[in-house]
Amino acid sequence: MTDFTHLHVHSYYSLMDGLNSPAELMQAAKDLGHTSIAITDHGTLSSHREMQIAAVEQGLKPILGLEAYISPTDRFDKSSKTDKTVQAYNHIILLAKDEDGLKNLNRLSEIAWTEGYYHKPRIDKEILAEYKEGIIALSYLFTDRTGGFSSGSFDSLNFGTHVGDDPASVKANRSTLMNTQFMNQVHGSTVVVVSQLSQIDPTCDALVTTNPDISLAVMVADCIPLLLVSNSVVGAVHVGRAGLVNRIAIKTLDVMRQNGAKDIHAVMGPSICGKCYEVPIALQEEVTAVHPSSYSTTRHSTPALDLQAGLVAELLAENVSFEASTVCTMENSSYFSHRRDNPTGRFAGVVKI
């Protein structure tokens, strides 16, 4: 797969998240036919030297990166120590584009450890703006159901206002995501371009923005939370069965390109897998007539749909690079699942320039 590159990979320098050495990752990339790969460990650049040596041995292009911790306020702020509604940090993927970028990546890491350390080595927007030259930032995340204010079936980080949860709890949960535009999702095909935050969620199933001060959110509980990242435009897309048939992802890509997007990269978050999404055979035939790749069967050989496989086929046809979560929401209780627990909450995929 010479036309695909993993841009977010952890080595064993990411404690609790990575298993393989940089050398093992380079060997795996080579075996899979890749020509390049990134390593983005949590808060550390420790893998870079080993990665460079191993990449040269395998004939690969190493992309040196970092999954940085970024303070929602500033790197000196420790208010989360006394105010539990304040997050100590969020995550951001940083990739060195050239030698200047690598120097700035090292400088940011140094500042994070010496000035911003609180729970984790943190940077902030101010210092990132100062050392941004030569750095590509991929700013996105997927929440799970922990760390919020809801209770019962919605325990605890539910962002859905339409599921029967206490409105005050949902408001508190949404406040943990700063400057974030949500949407009123209706399984349709409407794409809305957002230029500024609105207190009223627009009715649509995809959001696009060129505003670097706004984050976009998509809510799901089995459907695919699709985040689209580019140089100056981002998108958040709700891709369920209807969205796949309506080609909501393709429509969003078109809108992003009309707004200047180049080299779009897609990130698919946790969703129900093809072995768990059982459907009537008539519904399976309806969807697979449009997306043959979405055909699947359950472990009991009953009709099913693989939404992720159908979406991957669309992205490949559009020459869009992608990464996809292997987590099935129905099988993993860390995430809300409508099929497993209805009524239940909604977790979110969030993206920002």
Q: CATH no. for residue 269?
A: 3.60.140.10
Report CA Rg, the chain. 20
pLDDT of residue 85: 46
Amino acid at 36: S
Of the residues 101, 118, 140, which one is the last residue of a structural domain? 140
Range of the domain at 171: 143-352
User: Is 123 within a domain?
Assistant: yes
- Would 12 be classed as within a structural domain? no
* Last residue in a domain, options 140, 167, 184: 140
Looking at the domain assignment, is residue 117 inside a domain?
yes
Answer yes or no: are the C-beta atoms of 347 and 143 closer than 8 Å: yes
Domain count of the fold of the chain: 2
- Helix and strand tally (H, E) in the chain? 10, 16
Question: 160 and 45, same structural domain?
Answer: no
CA pair distance 49, 21, nearest whole angstrom: 12
Give 188-196 contacts, CB < 8 A, sequence gap 24+: 188/242, 188/246, 188/248, 189/243, 189/246, 189/247, 189/248, 189/251, 191/235, 191/248, 191/251, 191/252, 191/255, 193/255, 193/259
My answer on whether 166 and 304 are in the same domain is: yes
Note whether residue 242 is domain-resident: yes
Domain termination site, one of 124, 140, 156: 140
pLDDT per residue as tens digits for the range 44-98: 999 999 999 999 999 999 999 999 998 878 899 887 655 544 567 778 889 999 9
Mark whether 180 and 283 lie in a shared domain.
yes
The CATH code of the domain that includes 43 is: 3.20.20.140
Tokens of 57: 């041995």
Same domain assignment for residues 110 and 257:
no
* pLDDT on residue 81: 58
pLDDT > 70 fraction of the chain, expressed in percent and rounded: 96
Question: What is the model's pLDDT at position 272?
Answer: 99
Q: Assign 162 to helix, strand or coil.
A: coil
Task: Verify that 98 and 147 share a domain, yes or no.
Answer: no
Residue type, 104: N
Which residues, including other chains, have CB under 8 Å from residue 215's CB and lie 6 or more apart? 139, 177, 178, 179, 180, 181, 350, 351, 352
Do 298 and 276 lie in one domain? The reply is: yes
Please check whether residues 267 and 168 belong to one and the same domain: yes
Q: Cα-flanking dihedrals φ and ψ of residue 348, to 5°?
A: -130, 150
* CB 171, CB 154: distance < 8 Å: no
Q: Is 113 among the domain residues? A: yes
Q: Is 69 exposed, middle or buried (0-12, 13-18, 19+ CB in 10 A)?
A: buried
For residue 5, is it within any domain? no
Residue 325 counted as domain residue:
yes
In this predicted structure, what is the pLDDT of residue 3?
Answer: 59
**pLDDT of the chain, 353 residues: tens digit per residue:** 555 678 889 999 998 888 999 999 999 999 989 999 999 999 999 999 999 999 999 999 999 999 999 887 889 988 765 554 456 777 888 999 999 999 999 999 999 999 999 989 999 989 999 999 999 887 788 988 988 999 999 999 999 999 999 999 999 999 988 899 999 999 999 999 999 999 999 999 999 999 988 999 999 999 999 999 987 899 999 999 999 999 999 999 999 999 999 889 899 999 999 999 999 999 999 999 999 999 999 999 999 999 999 999 999 999 898 888 889 999 999 899 999 999 999 999 999 98
Give the integer Cα–Cα distance in Å for 265 and 308.
16
Residue 221 main-chain phi, psi, to 5 deg = -155, 45
235 with 329, same domain: the answer is yes
What tokens were used for 172? 């508190």
pLDDT at residue 15, as a whole number: 86
* Structure tokens given for 114: 């010496």
Say if residue 262 is in the same domain as residue 330.
yes
Residues 254, 267, single domain; the answer is yes
pLDDT at 214: 93
Considering the domain boundaries, does residue 315 fall inside one?
yes
Q: Are residues 134 and 244 in the same domain?
A: no
Place of tokens 């059982």: 278
Q: Are residues 175 and 310 in the same domain?
A: yes
